[in-house]
Amino acid sequence: MLMELRRSGLGFSEISSEMRLRFGINISPNALVKRAGKLKDQYLEPLPEAIRNAMPEVMGVIQNHLEKTDLRKLSAGEKKAVAEVLKDLPQEIPKLVLQRMLRKLNEAHPGYYS
């Protein structure tokens, strides 16, 4: 119900009042903000988690392709940059996916996922 009311555009104070009317329970707007944040995390987590789990295989494929590539033409600085990017990919790709997901969800529901 919390997420439905939030998607409908109600603020947390209004949702608190609505819950008091419907169910006779008093939940502060601050508690609702925290609960909504936890629910959003639960909704958003499956895709980035799947990507994190697939990263060892993805990195193996990238390494295989790099082994077939002639990197001798690269300078020492360029080789170092490639190594650093490869080291960061397992953390950065799931973050990128989550950011893109949030952007798409915000386009569909402005202000809801921000």
| Torsion-angle region of 70 (φ positive above 0: left; ψ -120 to 50: alpha; else: beta) | beta
Query: What is the identity of the amino acid at 33?
Result: V
List pLDDT tens digits, range 38-61: 777 777 778 888 998 999 999 999
Give residue 5's pLDDT: 79
List pLDDT tens digits, range 58-94: 999 999 999 999 888 999 999 999 999 999 999 999 8
Structure tokens at 31: 């508690």
Query: What is the identity of the amino acid at 65?
Result: H
The overall average pLDDT reported for the chain is: 86
